[in-house]
Structure 1
Amino acid sequence: MTVPDSFERGIRKNLNQFLQQILQVFFVGLIIGMERTALPGLAQKDFGVVKGSFLFLLSFLFSFGLVKGILNFFAGTLADRVGRKRVLVMGWIAGLPLPFLILMAQNWWWIVLANVFLGINQGFAWSMTVTSKVDITLPEERGMATGINESAGYLGVGIAGIITGYLSARYGPRETLFWFGLSIVTIALALAIIFIRETLPWARAEQDEHQNKTFSGPRPRFPEGISEHPGAREVFLLVSFRHPTFRSLSQAGIANKIADTLVWGLVPVFLLGRGLSLTATGWVTGLYAMVWGVSQIGTGRLSDRIGRKIPIVTGLWILAGGILVMALSESFAFWLLSATLMGVGMALLYPNLVASVADISPPAWRGKALGTYRYWRDTGYAIGALLLGVIAQWKQEVTSTFWVTSGLLIFSGLWVALGAEETHPGKNPAREVRVSSE
């Protein structure tokens, strides 16, 4: 079978749509980034969260992670049925109540509810940007494609954190988050409806190539012993528990989101408690996200050359080191250094975990596989909120959560190093590629 010209894969051949998807994920990043500086600081001042109530403080991240994780899974399954564009548009519609809930919030439970809608928005919209890019790119471009995708998204996170930090100090946090959030959601929704093209046909065309043995290039290490068109339950169990490489990647996703929970929910408390201003705190958290974002352009492409496994393991351990530096430091300069290290670590592991899952997921159920991985990864926010919240509540300080998070990351890197195969088809192709044709 010859793939029609309109469904040819490659970044250059689909540059317009690739750029449109980059813009979409940048807007998604802006939405999540606008909360990172302002909300933890508002908890005690505006919403009566008692100082030291760390578990209650992190409840907004619990609701976000739980909803986003579940919606990631359903987004992947739904996208394989109705298409990527429709799910993306659903995500932006779900984001519309968010700024209104923040503006009108009477207590912290309103913020918890607002983050339910944020979780739906992120679970649907961000998931579809990465799935669509994988659909329209070549396997050998997959690391670069996911790197650029996550780079744009987390660049948005960092920029929003810094901008909203400044604007909140001048105009007030609620007003800033309302107008900033409403503007971004409205613009992104309009652009998605008008300019985004459905990419599911590319995935179906690629699946036809694999079935008809016309796919060119190294054969990916697709799982064996699974039906040709598996249901959501079968894929969920395979990716979560039954396949050792998928299982290793999923636990690494959880670990990195526990680390991000620390940065989002407790690092601002840590820094503000040591006398930093809201603006300076925004620089630390924003630098972390921007380094993470910008560096992924290079780290994704690096994995296309050397494979996925080394960057993932190295990234988990550098992230652990950066967290330790922050816990041990007492100066703004060293906190900026630790933010840089954490950003580099995230950049090495984050896009390459997604690329690894995509490498060994057949196109027919790629959306379900990515959705399952993203379910576990973003449920890491809920797990992190409970784990770190309980530890901080018990100790009545946050430094101990830094040590626990670092230990988890070191263990996670060891798990991937010992328990996962290299997934890059060019570096570790399936055995069938070595069998001569008959």
Structure 2
Amino acid sequence: MQIQLGLKENWQQFTLLVLVNMMVGGMVGLERTVVPLVGTEEFRIGADMLVFSFIIAFGVVKAFTNLISGVLADKYTRKRVLVMGWLFGLPVPFMLAWGPSWAWIIGANVLLGISQGLAWSMTVNMKIDLVGPKKRGLAMGLNEAAGYGAVGLTALLTGYLAAAYGLRPQPFYIGIAYTIIGLLLSIFVIRDTRAYAALESASVVTPGEQQHRPDLLWVFKETSLKNRNLFAVSQAGLINNLNDGMSWGVFPLLFISMGVGLEGVGWIKAIYPVVWGAGQIITGPLADRFGRKPLIVWGMFVQVLGHVVIGFEWFSPFISGMVGSVLLGAGTAMVYPALLAAVSDAAHPSWRASSLGVYRFWRDMGYAAGALMAGVVASALGLLWAVHIAGLLTLLSGIIVWLKMKETRKS
């Protein structure tokens, strides 16, 4: 069968990969509303840093898994790595639902980090492989919309289930369904896409030119420091997920302390990733039309506004949380597909999977950085100050992109 690049030409497999990524994202949504409260209310953990430890474990493990995911994909094929990711995820909902100690929750997040680093990375790489260079922004918008939309909807649903039935085990039953459906789809209906990357790579190599296949260390240095565009993108990704890591741990505790009920916290936690996810259906194509840099810079600044609104005394805690979360979600929706598309633009197809892995390493290290920062600041100054510090870091990151990055979109 002759293969062709393009979204229209490969819409069936693309759609199936969108569905799989909804299951991948839903696994993260399991934890957004309930797990911090499991730590404080069921296991009686009083220290903010210890409560946030599950996010630090998740972020660090996912970051390092992202780093090697591209190498594994080139060695074992994209499909095998995707299936491997689901196998690591199978025990997670059971451990979250019935784990007898906080150590089990930490262990579940180690496995979840590995699973997400492998599975989500592969859905990104496989969609980029299929669509080719012209529709990368749209492809990443649809991919991340599916994943983060599922994060938000699952966070909302677990909040209602927890309010109705208790914190455990009922809210985690959804995760059992996600893992089984995601694994079966990945084994039986998803096809590997490495041949599509090879086709694109051949199209950008001139006759007689040797393809450059650098090792991971070279790609790490190039993506992290040497290439100005890739450096700007990587630090923006880190700060973007620092916001998410901070909100993951801080928002349930902050808004419960302000008198917001569990259902209200579920809405605050859900609206951020839902707007983030759904918004990318629009912002992904905008990144293809207007360029990557404007979406990244202004998306970071919109997130700053979200931080300012949260805790604003003119509003009730619930309203400030909802408005702030909408702004955080909108800003992140502007940033996310543009960042992935910018990395794909700047990296050669022969080492693009590894470069995406390095970018995602820095981006998802932001989860750990956000939780660590939040724990330290909350212990010293209070939970609300963790939100303010994250906003300041986001402002500085947007300025760095503004000054350092050149547009990567090919006209």
Sort the TM-score into its range (normalised by shorter chain): over 0.9
* Superposition CA RMSD, Å: 1.5
Contact 2:245 2:371 survives alignment (8 Å): yes
Check whether the contact 1:37–1:165 (CA below 8 A) recurs between aligned residues. yes
Q: Distance in 2 between matches of 1:44 and 1:244?
A: 43
Q: Given residue 342 of structure 2, which amino acid in structure 1 is its aligned partner?
A: S
CA-CA distance at 1:158 after TM superposition: 0.7
Q: Which residue of 2 aligns with 1:408?
A: 393
Selected match of 1:11 from 7, 25, 35? 7
The partner residue of 2:262 within 278, 296, 299 is 278
Residue 252 of structure 1 is matched in structure 2 by: 236
User: Deviation at 1:425?
Assistant: 1.3
Matched, 1:43 2:39: yes
1:289 corresponds to which residue?
273
Equivalent residue of 1:48, what SS?
coil
1:75·1:371 contact (CA, 8 Å) conserved in 2? yes
Report what 1:435 is aligned to: none
Where do residues 148-159 of structure 1 align in structure 2 (5 Å cutoff)?
Answer: 148-159=142-153
TM-score by length of 1: 0.91
AA of the residue aligned to 2:67:
F
Secondary structure at the residue paired with 1:421? coil
Task: Report the CA distance between 1:316 and its aligned residue.
Answer: 0.5
Map residues 421-436 of structure 1 onto 2, 5 A cutoff: 421-426=406-411
1:135 to 121, 129, 138: 129
Choose 15-24 or 174-183, whichever is displaced more. Answer: 174-183
2: distance between equivalents of 1:389 and 1:83? Answer: 39
In the TM superposition, 1:289-438 aligns within 5 A as 289-329=273-313, 330-331=315-316, 332-395=318-381, 397-426=382-411
Contact 1:75 1:127 in 2 (8 A): yes
2:180 corresponds to which residue?
186
In 2, distance between residues paired with 1:363 and 1:227? 10
**Greater alpha carbon shift after TM alignment, 170-179 vs 94-103:** 170-179
Counterpart of 1:139 in 2: which secondary structure? coil
Q: 1:301 to 1:213 in 2, by over 3 A?
A: farther
1:94-105 equivalences in 2 (<5 Å) = 94-105=88-99
Partner of residue 112, structure 1: 106
Could you list the per-position Cα deviations for residues 81-125 of structure 1 after superposition, in whole angstroms to 9, with x for gaps in the alignment? 221111110110000111121123222222111100110111011
2:205/2:211 contact within 8 Å kept: no
Q: Is the 8 A contact 1:48 1:107 kept in 2?
A: no
Alpha-carbon contact 1:99-1:177 (below 8 Å) kept: no
SS in structure 2 at match of 1:9: coil
What is the aligned counterpart of 1:80 among 49, 74, 84? 74
Structure 2 SS opposite 1:297: helix
Give 1:72 deviation, angstroms: 0.4
TM superposition shift of 1:383: 1.4
- d(CA) in 2 for partners of 1:61, 1:333: 26
Q: Which amino acid aligns with 1:275?
A: G
Runs of 4+ in 1 over 3 A off after TM superposition: none
**Do the aligned partners of residues 346 and 213 (structure 1) sit closer, same or farther apart at CA in structure 2, a change above 3 Å counting?**
farther
Counterpart-to-counterpart distance in 1, 2:186 and 2:343: 26
Equivalent residues of 1:102, 1:177 under 8 A apart: no
**How much has 1:76 moved relative to structure 2?**
1.3
Correspondences of 1:160-179 after superposition (within 5 Å): 160-179=154-173
- What's the offset of the Cα at 1:227? 7.9
Per-residue deviation, residues 370-409 of structure 1 (Å, max 9, x unmatched): 00000000011111222221111122x2011111100100
Greater alpha carbon shift after TM alignment, 416-425 vs 384-393: 384-393
* Alpha-carbon distance between aligned partners in 2 of 1:6 and 1:358, rounded to the nearest angstrom: 24
8 Å contact kept, 1:319–1:344: yes
SS in 1 for 2:322: helix
Q: Retained in 2: the 8 A contact 1:35–1:177? A: no
TM-score by length of 2: 0.97
For 2:311 and 2:58, locate their aligned partners in 1 and report how far apart those are by CA, in whole Å. Answer: 26
Does the residue aligned with 1:7 lie in a helix, a strand or coil? coil
* Cα distance change, pair 178–268 in 1 and its aligned pair in 2 (3 A): closer
Aligned length in residues: 408
- The structural deviation recorded for 1:213 is 5.8
Aligned to 2:29: 33
Q: Distance in 2 between matches of 1:118 and 1:296?
A: 24
Unpaired runs of 5+ residues, structure 2, are none
Inter-partner Cα distance in structure 1 for 2:172 and 2:327: 32
What is the alpha-carbon distance in structure 2 between the residues aligned to residue 292 and residue 98 of structure 1? Answer: 25
The answer to whether structure 1 residue 69 and structure 2 residue 55 are counterparts is no
State the one-letter code of the partner of 2:72.
Answer: L
